């Protein structure tokens, strides 16, 4: 299971501190999802080796309108393993689910954002994951928290009905905000997600990373098509091995 984190300067803790704490909490990886205007400076391979946890480079695109978001997606797609779009408006939510180049629609219910059956179906068609962001349940209080949880329950009903792909995150901005997978499973009950659904949503980050890393390989041509080295064995040698 993986967690999506914001690290310094987008958060209060370094990537290395996030990696160490996440590993101690039982995560297999972290997705460094800093916003595009606050990138973190780190070496994913070095940190992965040092802390025995997969560190996945990502970007969460935050834009004022779909046109600007589209430009940012194009600019980051080749350099980042996972690309998220920070939703929260009807226009950005629709943009994100209609783009196969986008991996995750983050914060779909934030602000004026909403999610319906049309967006759910577009997300399925384009392979865009919808984020269940548990930050409101973890860190918000009062009426603001109540309203956010209500929106998340509605999101869960739609995602479940249309079998829309999804991810789960506590969205920590500090190592002190990290919670173990078991703790997130307990929190998920407040919006109706089962332990299995939370575990699957945390594991989906790893699935996205694995798929995109394969696509970033030089042998990838397009989905389902890969370059392979020319076989130099003779027919006789192949038959002999069989």
Residue pLDDT, tens place only, 48-103? 999 999 999 999 999 999 999 999 999 999 999 999 999 999 999 999 999 999 99
Say yes or no: domain 2-241 is CATH 3.20.20.140: yes
pLDDT at 108 over 60: yes
- For the chain, the average pLDDT equals 91
Residue pLDDT, tens place only, 131-189? 999 999 999 989 889 999 999 999 999 999 999 999 999 999 999 999 999 999 999 98
pLDDT at 221 over 90: no
DSSP the chain: -EEEE--TTTSSS-HHHHHHHHHHTT-SEEEE--BTTS-----HHHHHHHHTSEEEEEEEE--SSHHHHHHHHHHHTTT-SEEEEE--SHHHHHHHHT-TT--EEE-TTSTT----HHHHHHHHHHTPEEEEE-HHHHH--HHHHHHHHHHHHHHHHHHHHHT--EEEE---SSGGG---HHHHHHHHGGGT--HHHHHHHHHHHHHHHHHHHHHHSTTEEETTEE--PPP---HHHHHHH-
Q: So where are the chain's domains?
A: 2-241
Q: Residue 235's pLDDT is what?
A: 45
Q: How confident is the model at residue 216 (pLDDT cuts 50, 70, 90)?
A: confident
Q: Residue 218's pLDDT is what?
A: 58
């Amino acid at each position: 299971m993986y967690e999506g984190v914001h690290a310094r300067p987008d958060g209060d803790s370094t990537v290395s501190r996030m990696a160490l704490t996440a590993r101690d909490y039982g995560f297999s990886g972290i997705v460094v999802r800093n916003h595009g205007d606050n990138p973190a400076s780190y070496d994913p391979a070095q940190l992965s080796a040092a802390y025995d946890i997969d560190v996945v480079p990502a970007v969460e695109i935050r834009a004022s309108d779909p046109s600007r978001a589209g430009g940012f997606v194009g600019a980051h797609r080749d350099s980042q393993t996972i690309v998220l779009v920070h939703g929260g408006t009807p226009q950005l939510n629709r943009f994100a689910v209609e783009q196969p180049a986008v991996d995750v629609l983050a914060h779909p219910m934030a602000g004026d954002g909403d999610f319906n059956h049309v967006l759910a179906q577009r997300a399925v068609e384009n392979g865009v994951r919808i984020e269940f962001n548990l930050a409101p349940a973890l860190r918000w209080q009062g009426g603001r928290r109540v309203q956010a949880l209500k929106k998340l329950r509605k999101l869960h009903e739609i995602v479940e009905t249309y079998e829309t792909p999804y991810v789960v995150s506590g969205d920590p901005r500090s190592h002190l905000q990290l919670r173990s997978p078991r703790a997130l499973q307990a929190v998920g009950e407040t919006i109706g997600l089962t332990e299995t659904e939370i575990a699957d949503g945390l594991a989906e980050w790893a699935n996205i990373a694995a798929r995109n890393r394969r696509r970033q390989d030089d042998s990838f041509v397009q989905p389902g098509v890969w370059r392979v080295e020319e076989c130099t064995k003779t027919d006789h040698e192949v038959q002999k091995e069989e």
